[in-house]
Amino acid sequence: MHASTVRTLLVRGMLAGLIAGLFAFAVAYVVGEPSVNGAIAVEEAQGGHEAHAGHEGTATSEAPEEEEGFSRTTQSTFGLATGVLVYGVALGGIAALAFSFALGRIGRFSPRATAALTAAAAFTTVYLVPFLKYPATPPAVGNPDTIGKRTTLFFLMILLSVLLGVAAVIAGRRLAPRLGNWNATLAAGAGFVAVTAIAFVVLPNNDDAVQAGFPAALLWEFRVSTLAIQAVLWAVFGVVFGVLAQKALAAREETAGNGVQLGAPAAG
């Protein structure tokens, strides 16, 4: 793919990520913030005075207002929006580069279908699989003594998941000539699940990630909300970027086709 085309897709990917970030922010504010407020209320009720521990997932950890200098309202609106939008733009650009590499290499899919598959693969490997092993922890309930260990394990799981996903795609492509596309996809997918399950067993658990006595219902609500935020982010990105990429590539092909038609008479 030509460098200018990749650059065009990169810009459109970042734009799609920005739009997806807006939707994700809406979900985070409506669905996620109530559970964050609940977690902070639990800490205050327990008389906790420690800084709120960070968590793996959406970046919504906060510290007491007097220490940070920002009100809770500012943190849950402007601060949250800034974090989610920057996150969306960054991931949108990375996903656009992955799309540029995948287009035409994973099958004869249209740009829209390839964008959807890229978004689904990114959501699965970058968030869903690591989340299943190390689910997000609300602010104020994590053990600050283990934050370094938990963060390391979470990013290790992301790296492992992405590498296994890439390996599964490569294996599926190599098996396709012998097994056919459908059977090769099933075999590669089964291999991914099997190796991931082994990794889940081998890697240590975060049994001390949540302090004892934290309400289970509130913890469940928070984790479901973080999963919903990521699902909306990647779903919107897949749809929006698919449309933008389809139009960009169609315009490139039309321009190239016109160039050939205009140049043909001169060559004759």
For residue range 143-198, list pLDDT tens digits in order: 666 677 778 888 999 999 999 999 998 998 888 888 888 898 899 999 999 999 99
CA 194/CA 167 separation, integer angstroms: 13
Q: Does residue 174 or residue 68 have the better pLDDT?
A: 174
Q: Give the pLDDT confidence of 80-129 residue by residue, as tens digits.
A: 889 999 999 999 999 999 999 888 777 778 889 999 999 999 999 999 99
Q: Does residue 67 or residue 192 have the better pLDDT?
A: 192
Quickly state the pLDDT bin for 227 (edges 50, 70, 90): very high
CA 11/CA 84 separation, integer angstroms: 18
Query: Residue 36 corresponds to which tokens in the numbers above?
Result: 């964050």
pLDDT on residue 258: 61
Domain boundaries, given as residue ranges, for the chain: 3-153+214-267
pLDDT on residue 267: 41
Residue 122's Cβ-count burial label (10 Å; 0-12, 13-18, 19+) is: buried
226 and 57 in contact (C-beta within 8 Å)? yes
Spatial neighbors of 202 by CB under 8 A, at least 6 apart, are none
33 and 80 in contact (C-beta within 8 Å)? yes
DSSP string for residues in 216-228: HHHHHHHHHHHHH
Phi, psi of 110 (to 5 degrees): -70, 165
pLDDT on residue 252: 75
